[in-house]
Amino acid sequence: MGVPAKHMFVTGGVVSSLGKGITAASLALLLKQRGYKVFLQKLDPYLNVDPGTMSPYQHGEVYVTDDGAETDLDLGHYERFAGVTCTRQSNYTTGRIYSTVIQRERKGGYLGGTVQVVPHITDEIKKAVLTCADSGADIIITEIGGTAGDIESSPFLEALRQLRVELGPENAVFVHLTLLPYLSASGELKTKPAQRSAGIMRSIGIIPDVLICRTEVSMEEEHFRKLSLFCSVPRAAVIEEKDVKNSIYEVPIELAKQGLDSLILRKFNLPENKLDLSQWNAMVARAINPDSGEVKIAVVGKYMALRDAYKSIFEALSHGAIDQGLELKIECIEAEDLQSRDPEEFLGSVDGILVPGGFGYRGLDGKIEAVRYAREKDVPFLGICLGMQCAVIETARNVAGLNEADSLEFHPETPHPVISLMDEQKSVVNMGGTMRLGAYPCVLEVDSKACAAYGVTDVSERHRHRFELNNEYREILEKAGLRLTGLSPDGTLVEVVERPENRWFTAVQFHPEFKSRPLRPHPLFNAFISASFQGKQK
């Protein structure tokens, strides 16, 4: 048997949205760059079994893993920062834990017993954490959603408290992320809320090993000392995490400067090894000083008010721009605005147009308008999932003359269902976790733009959809100038369409944004950014 895995638990205090995900992901990168194999996991305290049934307004983007789990967007940070591949094991919700326990109870798994939060729910949580060791990781980082003191997160914290006792303090470390509010009127940085949140943790039996303080301004020595004293955390384990100016990818560099990774390794009794951040530093330097020009991309969607709804899309665009030394300007355009006003007003000055994935009818015609604009004005276009379906509907309506062409999702009675329900979806009744999900292979035409971007014909990409291009319309669409350049290996599903008449017009049924990394930008995003910038040069 190998050495047992070490566990790090990342909790949050004072407020939500402190950036626990980015902090956990940054720590994972640092530990990985010191030679350790890291696995990341998030425990979410809500009752949905997964976030797949929530509106993006509630929860932000639903991140999809290779193995087809619909998960929290923090997993995107994990994969982007630490270059790890997350799995179903990487995200558990209260709903998922409870439904496992309740199903077991119904099957008689606890016959004769009373099923309780402690120990049955807490045992199930511990199991979810401990089975991460199956990944073969040296270090497992578990982030706990919510804020210390929330009613909902208490079973998770209780389970982790028990785990630390069982595993021993050298195998289980608690990192608590907290907030130091800055009062600009008096010019003061306050430590009281952070003291209170560490106090809440203490009251449930957890003394954090490390306190990470989110702050707008630099901390003074007195803040470090005060927090150390009141929170029972050694001075050296009070870490400042100040807002970064330019790029979230600066966070690991700032944390490394304070020796956070060495501190954790010492707590684990693990050799410190050398930290190699050379590639990461070079990428951040390029991100901070783009010296090759500017590129402006319009993203036309329906949840534009909440940037988290398109997190991976924005990140993937930025990866392409960073790679090419370009400054990226994103114009967030509400699709509905294109329905009532001249698209020129919104799209006239952009270098590229992206229509992302989505569900529901609202804004659909605006997205189709955006595709029409891109096609007619020859503006580089990238369509993703619903964005590809919009490109198909646009060609059917405006080029092939099928005025009423539509998707069955929006118009069950349409005479021309150019987008129809996949066969495997026809018998599906439940909404949760039943779409076509996760990684599927796709074969590209050799002389396509997509193949030129990837440099190979066989690719694998992640999916999350129920509808597909209706094969009965393949010929009509091809005659109207839409080339079907990517198919499932058996040829039955259209995964990529292009317009060869345009400079760069590619739309995909899958979600390439989930696989883009700052150190390995996604080929399609890279090619789209490049075509957009080149068009602008003309």
Residues of the shown chain interacting with ligand GLN in the complex, contacts defined by CB under 6 A:
357-359, 385-386, 409, 464-467
CA distance 474 to 483: 9
Is 511 labeled as catalytic in the residue annotation?
A: yes
Task: Point out the catalytic residue in the list 213, 385, 390, 442.
Answer: 385
Select the residue whose beta carbon is closest to ligand GLN and give its number: 357
Q: Please, which residue, 82 or 469, has the CB nearer to ligand GLN?
A: 469
- Amino acid present at 516: S
Q: Nearest distance from residue 536's CB to ligand GLN, in Å?
A: 28
Task: Map residue 532 onto helix, strand or coil.
Answer: helix
How many other C-beta atoms are found inside a 10 Å radius of the C-beta of residue 126?
17
Minimum separation from the CB atom of position 25 to ligand GLN (A): 24
Reply yes or no on whether 385 is catalytic.
yes
Q: Distance between CA 482 and CA 371 in Å, rounded? A: 13
For the chain, give the longest Cα–Cα distance. 77
Query: Quick check: bond before 51 cis, omega within 30?
Result: no
Burial zone of 429 (CB within 10 Å; 0-12 exposed, 13-18 middle, 19+ buried): exposed
Q: Which is nearer to ligand GLN, 223 or 465 (CB)?
A: 465
Measured from the CB atom, the residue of 386 and 529 that comes closer to ligand GLN is 386
Minimum distance of ligand GLN from residue 500's CB (angstroms) = 24
- Structure token digits, residue 20: 């626990």
What minimum distance in Å lies between the beta carbon of 419 and ligand GLN?
Answer: 7
Beta sheet of 238-242, edge-to-edge order: 91-93, 38-44, 139-144, 6-12, 172-179, 210-215, 238-242
Question: Would you say 104 or 466 has its CB closer to ligand GLN?
Answer: 466
Closest contact distance (angstroms) between CB of 390 and ligand GLN is 10
Query: What DSSP designation does 243 have?
Result: P
Name the active-site residue from 7, 59, 176, 511.
Answer: 511
* C-alpha to C-alpha distances, 484 to 360, 450, 502, 516, nearest whole angstrom: 25, 11, 14, 24
Beta strands 505-508 and 416-421: pairing type? Answer: unpaired
Determine contact, residues 338/304, Cβ cutoff 8 Å: no
Q: Which is nearer to ligand GLN, 182 or 361 (CB)?
A: 361
C-beta closer to ligand GLN: residue 60 or 358: 358
What amino acid positions are annotated as catalytic residues?
385, 511, 513
